[in-house]
Amino acid sequence: MPDPAGELPSLLGTPAPVPERGLFSLAELEPAHLHHLVARSVQLFRDRGAHDRPLRDRVVGVLFTRTSTRTRTAFHSATVRLGGTPIAYGPGDLQLNTGESVPDTGRVFGAMLDLLVARTAGPLAELRELSRAGGLPVVNAMAAEEHPTQGVCDLAVLLLAFGDLSGIRVLYTGEGNNTATALAHGLATVPGAHVTFATPPGYGLPADALAAARKSAAGGGARIEEIHDLADAPAEVDVVYTTRWQTTGTSKPDPSWREVFRPFHVDGALLARWPRALFLHDLPAHRGDEVAGEVLDGPRSLAWTQAAMKLPSAMAVLEHGSGSLPA
């Protein structure tokens, strides 16, 4: 009988830590890299078959512990269209629910998957830990701090609509949530962009995210500002963007928060201030809260184009991620 004594330590020992890999925040991408993902999303929007099935023979975990319609469907469908095999996990499927640690879960994922797309109930740090422990690329499909794949999608829709993002003027109104953070980091890389976040007092972008976006913007000629009264909004904007007031998986401690948000409602009267501006919403929408039905379903709304762009932008992200996998 062979003596395994010389092999067991290498087989059973704790693996050495490895650097995290994947897409965690748009702030961490080089501008050229981000702009490539955005342009590639538009290419795939126009032709979903413009690829060579880069995920063939690959297995992609799609872990969503929070509700999702567009992002989850997009990444599952994108995996299949790129030739990969998805394994979907819902909120009750993993032993994390029984107390298994995030690093232990990551080690198991790394032994069986080639790439992981994840939206969890925890902070971004958990996704980084899954990547380090498992030694596999992880795509942040929304964490508390940021929704970077939504940012790629949004910039792709703007590129599709305007042809060139340089100098674009965007007014975002509502909560400074994870979608707003991704938008700030993304547009901070666009030369001459002017982005105004109109948020209720106390509901602005996180101070560190706003500071980082402003610093990045200053280096490339863009401008990021935050106001708390729509009366102070710019005289000219190209796009008005809002999101639902109750961010997925969160709650607000102030019982009267709806009244605080009411002045930031986007209706026909508000949009009339900028007669040529287009409208964006990442969905799901609550008609009558953050947006009026006449705006969401009106001729200037790109919300449904955004929804459709989720698939090609997911394909672009996964296609890029496949480049870091061993042949």
Residue 186 lies in a domain: yes
Report yes or no: 43 and 16 within 8 Å, Cβ to Cβ.
no
Residue 275 lies in a domain: yes
9 pLDDT tier (thresholds 50, 70, 90): very low
247 pLDDT tier (thresholds 50, 70, 90): confident
Q: For residue 101, how many C-alpha atoms fall within 13 Å in the half-sphere facing its CB?
A: 6
Instruction: Give the mean pLDDT of 64-89.
Output: 97
Say yes or no: 298 and 159 in one domain. yes
Say yes or no: 126 and 163 in one domain. no
Spatial strand order in the sheet of 169-173: 223-227, 194-198, 169-173, 239-242, 278-281
Report yes or no: 189 and 229 within 8 Å, Cβ to Cβ.
no
Instruction: Give the mean pLDDT of 36-63.
Output: 98
Residue 1 lies in a domain: no
Say yes or no: 198 and 92 in one domain. no
> Closest Cα partner for 243 from 154, 157, 175, 147?
175
CATH of the domain at 17: 3.40.50.1370
Q: State percent of the chain over pLDDT 70.
A: 93
Report yes or no: 310 and 70 within 8 Å, Cβ to Cβ.
yes
Say yes or no: 93 and 221 in one domain. no
- Is the pLDDT at 128 greater than 80? The verdict is yes
- Is the pLDDT at 12 greater than 50? The verdict is no
Instruction: Give the mean pLDDT of 62-74.
Output: 96
| pLDDT single digits (tens) 302-317 | 999 999 999 999 999 9
Say yes or no: 169 and 132 in one domain. no
- Whole-structure pTM value: 0.94
Say yes or no: 122 and 166 in one domain. no
3-state SS string over the chain? CCCCCCCHHHHHCCCCCCCCEEECCHHHCCHHHHHHHHHHHHHHHHCCCCCCCCCCCCEEEEEECCCCCHHHHHHHHHHHHCCCEEEEECCCCCHHHHCCCHHHHHHHHHHHCCEEEEECCCCHHHHHHHHHHHCCEEEECCCCCCCHHHHHHHHHHHHHHHCCCCCCEEEEECCCCHHHHHHHHHHCCCCCCEEEEECCCCCCCCHHHHHHHHHHHHHHCCEEEEECCHHHCCCCCCEEEECCCCCCCCCCCCCCHHHHHHHHCECHHHHCCCCCCEEEECCCCCECCCECHHHHCCCCECHHHHHHHHHHHHHHHHHHHHCCCCC
Separation CA 262–CA 251 (nearest Å): 17
Residue 231 lies in a domain: yes
Say yes or no: 43 and 86 in one domain. yes
Which of 181-214 are b and which e, b meaning 16 or more Cβ less than 10 Å from the residue's Cβ?
bbbbbbbbbbeebbbbbbbbeebbbbeebbebbb
> Closest Cα partner for 68 from 319, 203, 247?
247
Residue 240 lies in a domain: yes
| pLDDT single digits (tens) 174-188 | 999 999 999 999 999
- Is the pLDDT at 69 greater than 80? The verdict is yes
Q: Which pLDDT belongs to residue 321? A: 85
Say yes or no: 182 and 133 in one domain. no
Strand partners, 60: 86, 115
Residue 2 lies in a domain: no
Say yes or no: 301 and 156 in one domain. yes
The least confident of 92-96, 164-168, 226-230, 271-275 is 92-96
The parent domain of residue 99 ranges over: 8-146+311-322
Instruction: Give the mean pLDDT of 34-59.
Output: 98
Separation CA 115–CA 109 (nearest Å): 9
Residue 327 lies in a domain: no
> Closest Cα partner for 263 from 237, 233, 302, 297?
233
Domain count, the chain: 2
Residue 219 lies in a domain: yes
Separation CA 59–CA 70 (nearest Å): 21
Say yes or no: 111 and 54 in one domain. yes
| φ, ψ of residue 172 in degrees (nearest 5) | -105, 130
Say yes or no: 142 and 182 in one domain. no
Say yes or no: 124 and 157 in one domain. no
